[in-house]
Structure 1
Amino acid sequence: MNRILPFAFFALLFGAPAFGQTIDSQGAKQLSDDLSRYVGKQAIDKGVLKVSVEGGAYKIAFDFKTLARMFPQQKLVKFDFAPYALLVKPRSDGSWDVSMDFSQSASFEFNGPEGLQSTQFSVKDGKGNGVYDPNLAAFTSGSSSMAGMTMASKDAKQQMDVSAGAATATIAATKSATGGVDFTMSQKISNFVEAIKFDDAESGLKFPVTVRSPELSVEASGKGMRTKPLLDLLAFAVANEDETTLKANQAQLKSLLLAALPVWERIDGTYGFTDFVVESPVGNFGAAQLSTAFGTDGVAQNGKINYGIKASALTIPQQLVPSWSVALLPTDIDLNFGGANIDLDTMAKKAIEAFDLNQDPPLSADFGDKLKADFMAKTPKLVIGHSTVKNKDVEIALEGEMTFPDEKPDANLTVDVTGFDKMVEGLQTAAKSEPEVAQYVPVVLMVKGFGKTLPDGRIEWIVNAKPDGSVMVNGVMVKPADPAVDDSVDDSDGDSDDSGDDSGGSGADLNP
């Protein structure tokens, strides 16, 4: 968040309504009291958070050094961190103008599991501004920028140095039609460099790696983020720090937890590099474009989770692979996988209903097993979305899904290959000069024998693996069902497999 929109950290704290247009000491006191609901009165009394009048605005200062002094000192050796400050001013529509300078030069040291660890970082010319709406508990608009940043971290076994050039970020939010907040966020960072040096005296490992990209970008969006209920939960936690009070008020806690569901309806994001390079002692790895994508539903009855990895113009050090395999290496990948039929809603609500803080443990010993059984009864799926791996001659595409009835896999996978004969020709040519390659040719030809040639020349394999252990490829049994086990006979491994249906299945149709 320090890179994205540093002042957004205060969004969850700065939830008090605008109470008037006059900027004075009385207003500062009122704002301080309102903020104490989310940070605790002790933070105000000890000066961790201070509200004062500065010009025509309120200054909200957060003192990290004072906060550090409130924690046990046996691990923290050094802490040098300048205060952050926001300037906030109420608007006539009830929202607030917010601005800050988050330029910083900080360092700290602490005793960690690997001995003394130190970190230093700096942000040059960091500025941010936006409009915060207390009724949404979100920035309806905001932007930030910095001229550059550096960070260095070191312990007994490794050293990491990160730097970046100019960066910009924007954020916006609106009221969601279904409750909560819809938001978008965008960020671009130039000249990103991360260098890591591993130096482990015990193992003798010394291995430097440097990651470079002239541009790193982040895009994110969300629907139905329950910002207000999350603020209420924060206020409850602050007001119920004492264990006795928390136990006495657990009915309210349960009510607040239920009100926060589904936390969000959907969140999606991508993280992308341009001209990505990894420098290592064995050579350079690279990609013209490299990105990862992530998306998840909130706490829903039929939720989905999606992951994606894309790379184009992939390169690896050729000395790492046999010369004959270079022509077979992929240059572009597009992998998509995730889950479906994920019922977190029932699990969350049952857990909230069942826990009792007056018991130890708060949930019964068998609760987890019951919850797992309920979860699996909804038939969650592992899903491979349409994915491709290709180079100039060959493209391999696949998609499918897997469920686990009775905790045994039931999978359907469709694979098709364009340019299969090119791949075979390459292996046959390599076999003339590389005798060890010859052993792969019969295997590849056997695999082709199970395939089905489609009108466009692709070769396709539809694979069905059943819970009984049977496997079919394009309707042909390649592995029969596992032998049936007589339940009346004691079996040490506890398995009891019924012979399966060998009728096959239609598989998943590809639409490349």
Structure 2
Amino acid sequence: MSVNRVLPVVFVLALSAPAFGQTVDEQGAKQLSENLARYVGSQAIDKGVAKVSLEGDAYKIAFDFKALAGMLPKQNFAKFNLAPYALLAKPRRDGKWDVSADMSTSASFEVEGLQGPQSTQLAIAGGKFAGVYDPELAAFASATTSMTGMTMDSRDAMQRVKVSTGPGTATMSAAKAVNGGADFTMTQTIAVFAEAIDFDDPNSGLKFPLAITSPGLSVNATGKGIRTKPLLDLLAFAVANEDEAKLKGNQAQLKSLLLAALPLWERIDGTYGFKDFAVDSPVGRFGAAELGTSFGSDGIAQNGTINYAIRAAGLTIPRNVLPSWSAALLPTDIDLNFGGANIDLDSMTKKAIEAFDLNNKPPLPADFGDQIKADFMAKTPKFVIGHSTVKNGGIEIVLEGEMTFPGATPMANVTLDITGYEKIVETLQTAAKTDPQAAQYFSGALAIKGFGKTLPDGRLEWVINTKADGSVTVNGAMLKPADSVGTDDSGEEATP
């Protein structure tokens, strides 16, 4: 489905001018071809890689992958076969364009790798695309894609991977952002995801098959303030300045375009999730009723943040993998959140743009990296552990905190709360009677409990603080004292 979404974006570069119900004729096709050449290069037009023609009351914008392969330097491709791709663009009276395409395709590739040939076959069935492109946004105001199924088969000397999906749909919309650029939303669902991985090393005799399945996959994404037009201007500049001498002569314009594209976007967020996720392996089945990840990032900002999350519910593992007593302690639900804050990419990016000179080798001063690193760390970026939980029945572990790096030794403040700690101790105590490993864990659990603070609701809490001097405290009690100050060769105390 990612191919389905990317290819229309490539070709609508030709639709940079508003339509306003223009007549579909040869002159219009010539203009669209010139617009497209601005982003893909005139040579691509001359060699037939991209072509604009008339198709009834619309323009047909076609791309020939074989012609593209003929323009590329000869690599180690033994075989290359990808069907031509085309879309239809019809002008609208409101200045936008109706765009449609048949996304069904097949492709095959083969290259010579270090250990023999590597091949890939891809097929998308029933693929359809329809959208409304807005030149003012430099994005689709609305779009939908669908397919009835997809298969991919990749293999090399030691591994074969087969991926297949059932029907899938995706929708996207975009609107003008308040502070410039475009805001967008995208949702995608795919039914019946399956991936089979068959690892077979003839040299070692190791064989390890895996089968990954899920009846449903979903993707959601949002973006705010995507700088679509400045990014397209940068692409056009790159095409117009492919010659190194010309690029060096126009680097002042390049710097201006780079600054205009900042911050690239204000915010991007996305989630990726499976239902009834299962992995069948030689040791048994691993599974999760729900499994997903999410990601979020500010653009190039002075005080940016990055966020990640991993979430799973209904986790299961094969019973023969771990001791039977561990089942009562293994997590069945997790919600892990972490990321960064106080991230100043704006200052360092602008300094880099101002400092580089393509006439020099290297383009940036030798000590520039050290300067940027010092400036970046001076803003005290943080590694953040958001409210994270790990659960199993009556046991719940909650973790949150942050870490900064004022010097060589990090500073951290982390809080750990556990509900049901007595159940953990009791389980280990019982298992310790027959399992020496559990006996070691039991001793450790008792020692850790001694540092805990009992809260009014019965939870145990550990507030852990580490300082730049190397000291560590737990609930105010010193666990590790500050590092001793070193001495120089004269025996005098050295400056820490």
Which letter does structure 2 place at the counterpart of 1:283? G
1:15 Cα shift? 2.4
1:316 counterpart SS class = coil
Deviation at 1:440, TM superposition (A): 2.3
The alpha-carbon deviation at position 16 of structure 1 amounts to: 3.3
| Matching of residues 66-215 of structure 1 within 5 Å | 66-215=67-216
Give the alignment of 1:45-84 within 5 angstroms. 45-84=46-85
> Would the aligned equivalents of 2:20 and 2:96 in 1 still touch at CA under 8 Å?
no
Residues 20, 93 of structure 2: 8 Å contact kept: no
Q: Which residue of 2 aligns with 1:324?
A: 325
Of 104-113 and 249-258, the range deviating more from structure 2: 104-113
Contact 2:218 2:272 in 1 (8 A): yes
Q: Deviations over 1:166-213 (max 9, x none)?
A: 000000000000110000000000000111111223343321111110
Segments ≥4 residues shifted beyond 6 Å: none
Contact 1:482 1:497 in 2 (8 A): no
Letter paired with 1:370: Q
Structure 2: runs of 5 or more not aligned = none
| 1:496, distance to aligned residue in structure 2 (A) | 6.6
Instruction: Look up the match of 2:435.
Output: 434
- Matched ranges for 1:19-34 at <5 A: 20-34=21-35
1:447 aligns with 2:433: no
AA partner of residue 232 (structure 2) = L
Percent identity of equivalent pairs: 67
In structure 2, C-alpha distance between the alignment counterparts of 1:165 and 1:490, rounded to whole Å? 74
Structure 1 residue 112: Cα displacement: 3.1
Q: CA deviation at 1:324?
A: 1.6
SS in 1 for 2:389: strand
- Describe how 1:391-410 pairs up with structure 2 within 5 A: 391-410=392-411
Match in the other structure for 2:416: 415
Aligned: 1:349 with 2:343? no
**Do the aligned partners of 1:5 and 1:128 also contact (CA within 8 Å) in 2?**
no
For 1:332 and 1:476, locate their aligned partners in 2 and report how far apart those are by CA, in whole Å.
32
Name the SS of the counterpart of 1:358 in structure 2: coil
Deviation at 1:365, TM superposition (A): 1.2
Contact 1:336 1:386 in 2 (8 A): yes
Is the CA contact (8 Å cut-off) linking 1:6 and 1:102 kept in structure 2? no
CA distance, structure 1, for counterparts of residue 5 and residue 64 of structure 2:
21
Give the distance between the partners of 1:74 and 1:417, measured in 2 at CA. 57
Q: Deviations 1:59-105 (Å, cap 9, x if unpaired)?
A: 00011111011112341111111111110011111110000001011
Name 2:376's counterpart in structure 1: 375
Residue identity matched to 1:355: F
Alpha-carbon distance change, 351 to 194 in structure 1, aligned in 2, over 3 angstroms: same
What is residue 314 of structure 1 aligned with on the other side? 315
- Please list every run of 5 or more consecutive structure 1 residues that lacks an aligned counterpart in the other structure: 499-512
2:259 maps to 1:258: yes
Q: Please name the residue that 1:268 is paired with.
A: 269
| Cα distance, 1:444–1:56 mapped onto 2, change above 3 Å | same
2:352 aligned partner, one-letter code: A
Does the CA-based 8 Å contact 1:383-1:401 persist in structure 2? yes
- Pair 1:458-2:459 in alignment: yes
Q: TM-score, normalised by structure 1?
A: 0.94
Contact 1:173 1:182 in 2 (8 A): yes
Q: 1:11·1:139 contact (CA, 8 Å) conserved in 2?
A: no
Task: Give, in whole Å, the separation in 1 of the partners of 2:15 and 2:210.
Answer: 41
Aligned residues: 495
* Structure 2 counterparts to residues 278-289 of structure 1, below 5 A: 278-289=279-290
Q: Does the aligned pair in 2 maintain the 1:217–1:272 contact within 8 Å?
A: yes
Residues of 1 paired with 2:491 and 2:152: CA distance? 61
The alpha carbon displacement at 1:11 in A equals: 4.1
- Residues 307/13 of structure 1: CA separation in 2 closer, same or farther (3 Å cut): farther
Amino acid at match of 1:174: A
SS in 1 for 2:295: strand
Tell me the CA shift for residue 422 of structure 1. 0.8
One-letter amino acid of the counterpart of residue 54, structure 2: V
Q: Kindly tell me: are residues 57 and 433 of structure 1, through their superposed partners in 2, closer, same or farther at Cα, counting changes over 3 Å?
A: same
Question: What amino acid is aligned across from residue 239 of structure 1 in structure 2?
Answer: A
SS of residue matched to 2:447: helix
The TM-score with structure 2 as length reference comes to 0.97
Deviation at 1:111, TM superposition (A): 2.0
Question: In 2, distance between residues paired with 1:13 and 1:411?
Answer: 52
1:114 deviates by 3.8
Q: Report if aligned partners of 1:5, 1:144 keep a CA contact under 8 Å in 2.
A: no
Distance 1:110 1:490 in 2: 64
Amino acid at match of 2:257: L
Question: Against the structure 1 CA distance between its residues 11 and 489, is the aligned structure 2 distance closer, same or farther, given a 3 Å change threshold?
Answer: farther
Q: Take 1:116 and 1:411, find their aligned partners in 2: how far apart are those partners? A: 50
Tell me if the contact between 2:5 and 2:145 (Cα under 8 Å) persists in the aligned partners: yes
Go from structure 1 to structure 2 and tell me whether the alpha carbon gap of 1:474 and 1:14 turns closer, same or farther (over 3 Å shift).
same
Relative to structure 1, the CA distance from residue 148 to residue 286 in structure 2 (aligned partners, 3 Å threshold; closer, same or farther) is same
Whole-angstrom distance in 1 between the partners of 2:490 and 2:199: 55
Q: What is the CA distance between 1:497 and its match in structure 2?
A: 7.4
**Deviation by residue 1:473-497 (Cα, 9 ceiling, x = unmatched):** 0001111001012467599xxx977
CA drift of 1:364 comes to: 1.3
Q: Which moved more, 1:463-472 or 1:477-486?
A: 477-486
CA distance in 1, matches of 2:495, 2:401: 24
Contact 2:14-2:35 at 8 Å conserved across structures = no
- Aligned partner letter, 1:208: P
RMSD over aligned CA atoms reads 1.7
